[in-house]
Amino acid sequence: MMPWTALKVAGVLGINRRNLEFILPKNPRRAYPNVDDKLITKRLCLEADIPVPSLLAQAASPFDLKHMAPLLDGQPCFVMKPARGAMGNGTLVIRSVEHTKDGVFFVRSGGKRLTPAELWYHGSGIIAGLYSLGGRHDRVMVEELLTTHPELARLSTDGVPDIRIILYRGVPVMSMVRLPTRKALGRANLHQGAVGAGIQLHDGRTHHAVCQNEPISTHPDNGEPLIGQPIPQFARALEIAMRAADQSGLGYVGADVVVDAEKGPVILELNARPGLSIQIANRAGLAPRLEAVDRYLGAPAAQARPEALGVDERLDLGRRIAGPPG
Amino acid sequence: MTRQALYTGLILLGTSLAIFFWKVFVLDTPLRPSNPSDLWQVEFQLSARGKSERGSLRASLPATDEGQVIFDERSAADGLSFTIRDKQGTRTGIWSGVLTGVHNVVYGFRVKLGHVDIPLEGIGNTPPPADIVAAYLGDSLEFPRSEPDVVEALGRLGLPNQSDVIGRVRSITAFVVEEFAAVDTASQDALLTLARGEGSVLGKTRLLATLLRAAGVPARVTTGLTLKESEPPENTLFVEAWLDDKWLPISPVGAFFGSRPGDLLVLKKGDGSWLESTGVVASGHQIRARRERLRPEELATIMTPASPWLASVSLYRLPLSTQEALRLLLLLPLGALLVATWRNLIGILTYGTFLPVLLSLALRTTSLVLGLFLVFVVLGVGISGRIFVDRLRLLVVPRLGILMCLVVLTMTALALVGERFSERELFAGVVFPVVILTMLIERFSLTLAEEGTANALRKTGSTLLVAIAMYPVLRSELASHLMFGFPELVVGIMGLLTLLGGYTGYRLVDFRRFRSFLRAGKAEPTR
């Protein structure tokens, strides 16, 4: 079989087609800020009672930064990050706060201790646009530090595993869990060496896993088996992803969900141009699933949005489209 | 692809190709440059600041003569009236009117130069006719043939006897060429040149003509231009001696004897000032020349096609400087097409969509290796500077300004280094892309911060790769000729871009990225 036909038969969605047939018609430009700015995403989710990591503080100017200190007082741990950052750049995880006779120290996840001045400096770098797309001015947001659900924490070394769900016209069509590795420096980016494991929509279990484009069956760092693992509260994750997608106004969206030990699944962020590597992690193409959604929901409406179906029906549709195991 | 996009693309492409093929097959417009070596396009640019009164600019214009055919003359008179006065084969262009402020007049023409080669065997047996004798054998202030010094010098030469005219001419020429040094600042006078043993080129030319006249050979001084590509033409003075029934060209500096080089355009008879003016405060001139890429008959099909309307839209009619700018401009769509191909068919991501095109155009003025070396030096300095500037925490625009200053400083340094090692190209090549390089540095630094060193280097590499891949296309004479001779191809490129923009198939890199799907059957985990 020619490479071309092989990809076509497998239903692999390429960048050109994703952009032209799905992102361009289904994601209106004006809805982009809803997902590019994590503070707006958070507000939209809260309006619809969708769980998100709680916001401890935010700052739009160096002046605001100074007033942040009292808000963080008494917080044992938190995450500071840019509202418009990409791929986790500029994210600072503070695991604990030490009060010593030399003053206060913020301890990073790697063990490095930061003075309040250094923390403030990092914040001003975020505001200056150091980590935002195109170097534009940005806002600092400080969120609670989530505790990964033990079931998922077991599967990864350090860092926070997250679940990526692709939704088309509000219907979940494909999902994977991204497990950080030492090689990826605790990040959940597949191209940096994190593990991607495809999740079956109907039972919430992993069925295939890849690392650096190669199929694997155990975690490269700790040897945990990666196939057939149940993802905790996966149905709930799909439900909040659907509702968040509805809020975003985007027709083709990737939702990143983290399963917190106490809160359960929360929406971390949404993405208007979700990557295509999820197909490798699932060893399945997106194209037939997206086409099936269009078939079920009828001629694509000019507008991205809901579709008369309720959340349960869409979940059902997504599971049917993704197909049973085998 | 939507039907609309498909049809729009096809219509644009079809229209463009229809015009293209019509021009090629019906109008016989040449498809590739034929590169005749003897055809030139020359342009005089005269400028004068007037006194707000009636005045005129008078310039000697070349005439069709032995060894050169002038055609396709045109002039932009800038509000003045233009006439050509033709007096016994000597042509003068006159631009007259009330000269107020600065006037820029342009006179352009094409010329086919021939190699004039006069056989020297057995020449000089016929005495010159009376009118030639009257005009070119006499004694004058410029050619004092009867002065005792001249006669004495001639006597000392020990010339062959009267019947061997060509032998006499040779001896006199050898004497002037070899015994007198050409010094730019030395005298322009024949007698002073003779007395001092050195003279300016004009002095030597006059001395040669004077000695020839003294020896009984009619002689005159002629002003010409040696045409050069990518350099201003060089003023060239020479003597013409009448032998039998022909003017024999002789260089006073030994460059030629009896034959005229193929790049020498005869501008005027005599050695007087080439440009004269009345009613002006100051005047100046500039001459450009460009080797023509098409043969005269091919040009004729472009310039005078069946339809006068088509002739009027021919770019070959534009002033030379505009033509050169357009040649560059018309390459840009080609660059856009290449970039779109790289991006959407192959899948290589670069900094800035059109940065590779601009970079490639910049490299076009130097050799590839030198150009790349310069880019690396400037990028290296810029990026180290940027890393330092980053620590200062500055706002974006001032930061970019500082980077641009750094790039300018680096180029200044390169110019000095280049001068020292007499590699002027070090400077000349890189003036254009200051802004481009600044942007490249900024993009690189952002990627460095956002995606890490490896990604930043990879993206720089692919940007350079695309620029290098484009380099041969943008430098090719064929591409330049096609886009300039067939500007309708731009519409075709728009059509291709439309089709490319609607392409939903895989990119070449997809086959690598999704290679796990290419393996037969269901792959088993390897670990």
| Chain B residues near any Cβ of chain A (below 8 Å) | 1, 344, 347, 393, 395-396, 446, 449-451, 502-507, 510-511, 513-518, 522-527
Beta-bridge mates of residue B104 = B47
C-alpha triplet B286, B287, B290: angle, nearest 5°: 145
* pTM for the model: 0.72
Q: For residue A55, what are the contacts with CB-CB under 8 A and spacing of at least 6?
A: A39, A42, A141, A142, A143
Stretches in chain A below the pLDDT threshold 70: 1, 133-135, 299-308, 324-326
Of A12, A21, A130, the CB nearest to B517: A12
**Taking CA atoms, what residue in B is nearest to A131?**
B450
Instruction: For chain A, give the mean pLDDT.
Output: 86
Identify which of B308, B306, B293 has the alpha carbon closest to the alpha carbon of residue B27.
B306
Cβ pair A15:B515 closer than 8 A = no
Of A6, A16, A124, the CB nearest to B504: A16
Contact residues, chain A, for B502 at CB < 8 Å: 20
Contact residues, chain A, for B504 at CB < 8 Å: 14, 16-17, 20-21
**Phi, psi (deg, nearest 5) at residue B362:** -70, -40
Of B502, B505, B524, the CB nearest to A14: B505
Shortest distance, CA A99 to any CA of chain B (angstroms): 29
CA dihedral B365, B366, B372, B374 (to 10 degrees): -100
Stretches in chain B below the pLDDT threshold 50: 522-527
Of A14, A20, A86, the CB nearest to B510: A14
Cβ pair B505:A10 closer than 8 A = no
Of A6, A15, A131, the CB nearest to B517: A6
* CA–CA distance, A219 with A287 (Å, rounded to integer): 29
**Taking CA atoms, what residue in B is nearest to A14?**
B506
Cβ pair A283:B522 closer than 8 A = yes
* Tokens 């076509």 sit on residue: A8
Cβ pair A20:B502 closer than 8 A = yes
Predicted local distance difference test score (pLDDT) of residue B424:
55
Predicted local distance difference test score (pLDDT) of residue B393:
67
C-alpha triplet B331, B337, B339: angle, nearest 5°: 105
The size of the A-B interface in CB pairs under 8 A is 91
Q: Residue B227 has which token pair?
A: 């045409």
Q: For B275-316, how does the pLDDT look when each residue is reduced to its tens digit (9 = 90+)?
A: 888 888 888 888 888 887 777 666 666 666 556 666 667 777
Predicted local distance difference test score (pLDDT) of residue B303:
62
**Do β-strands A171-179 and A103-108 pair in parallel, antiparallel, or remain unpaired?**
unpaired
Cβ pair A215:B522 closer than 8 A = no
